[in-house]
Amino acid sequence: MRAGYYAFRSNIVHLDAPIPESFKVPSDARLKIPSVFTPTTQDYQKVYDAIAQRLLDDDDYDDGSYGPVLLRLGWHSSGTYDNLTNTGGSNGATMRFPPEGDHGANAGLKAARDFLEPVKKSFPWITYSDLWTLGAICAIQEMGGPDIAWRPGRADRDVSYCSPDGRLPDASKGSDHLRGIFYRMGFNDQEIVALSGAHALGRCHTDRSGFEGPWTLSPITMTNDYFKLLIEEEWDWRNWNGPRQYQDKTKTLMMLPTDVALIKDEGFRSHVQRYAKDQGEFFADFSQVLMTLFELGVPFESGVEARNVFKRSE
């Protein structure tokens, strides 16, 4: 085919020729083109319900729930945010790509991404980045945690938007490191402590982080036990052939160096004590700070009035 010509239903049309009638857009075309699907709050509730149902059905994992690892996925997709450059954060779902998916900190999160894949297949209109944060808030609510307000608006982005390695916290470090990481996201000391309360849930795996064990005796129920245990138990270094971590007297529970930093540090300790005393206070602050974490760096078109709390499963 020569330049300047192209085929249309096997006729050759010269570009200088008058536009054939069949090419012209009818004046009422706007009425005839089906509008793009715009999901409503009810549509997102259906996604929430599908995740909640999968959590219920698929209980043959770890301590009986994918909930903790779903929360970790939402957090690791968001915790890459950098306030100064406005890069990273949950917008983009760039952990889908090897550079970021293979970062040491993200080891094991494929389990959570795979768990959500059938939900993505059932609701192909939702972006991965919205799905991952929605999965995390669903997990918290279904594990008895507080309501977390959420709004959609994240877009999936290509591999060039992957975050550099090293933006997530290193559990072997102390309070200076914690502040460095979380201040970069825009959080303060109280918010660092509230967010850390997520370690009421889940466990460490030797084949993922190298650390081992759960923080609490109820790792699939959200409570303020993490704070109570930090204060009430005696934490000693575990003598083992693994990374330095703490254990309680009974050797059933663990704490990371970054967890124990919260009671060693003056600025953090008062918040640990407050949350240990009052689960309601912890839940209220956790709800607020997690919502903020999941919105970092997202260029929402909607205002805060678009935030919604999803109905829990019965």
8 A C-beta contact, residue 214 and residue 251: no
Q: Of 45-53, 93-101, 143-151, 205-213, which part binds ligand HEM (CB under 6 A)?
A: 205-213
Among 44, 48, 75, 282, binds ligand HEM (CB under 6 A): 75
Per the DSSP assignment, residues forming a β-bridge with 7 are: 12
Among 120, 157, 205, 274, binds ligand HEM (CB under 6 A): 205
Tell me the per-residue interface mask from 173 to 202 with ligand HEM, x by CB under 6 A, - otherwise. Answer: -----x----------------xx-xx-xx
Q: Is 111 exposed, middle or buried (0-12, 13-18, 19+ CB in 10 A)?
A: middle
Tell me the per-residue interface mask from 103 to 122 with ligand HEM, x by CB under 6 A, - otherwise. Answer: -----x--------------
Q: Of 44-52, 64-72, 96-104, 142-150, which part binds ligand HEM (CB under 6 A)?
A: 64-72
Is 76 designated active site? yes
Site for ligand HEM, residues 124 to 183, rule: CB under 6 A: 169, 171, 178
Residue with tokens 């919502």: 291
Determine phi and psi for 311, rounding to 5 degrees: -75, 135
Residues 6+ apart with CB under 8 A from 229: 215, 216, 248, 253, 255
Q: Give the shortest CB-290-to-ligand HEM separation in angstroms.
A: 6
| Measured distance CA(300)–CA(83) in Å, rounded | 16
8 A C-beta contact, residue 227 and residue 215: no
Q: Give the shortest CB-151-to-ligand HEM separation in angstroms.
A: 18
Residue type, position 140, single letter: I
How is residue 132 annotated by DSSP? H
Which CB atom, from 51 or from 290, has the smaller least distance to ligand HEM?
290
Contact set with ligand HEM (CB under 6 A): 68-69, 71-72, 75, 108, 169, 171, 178, 195-196, 198-199, 201-205, 208-209, 211, 256, 258, 290
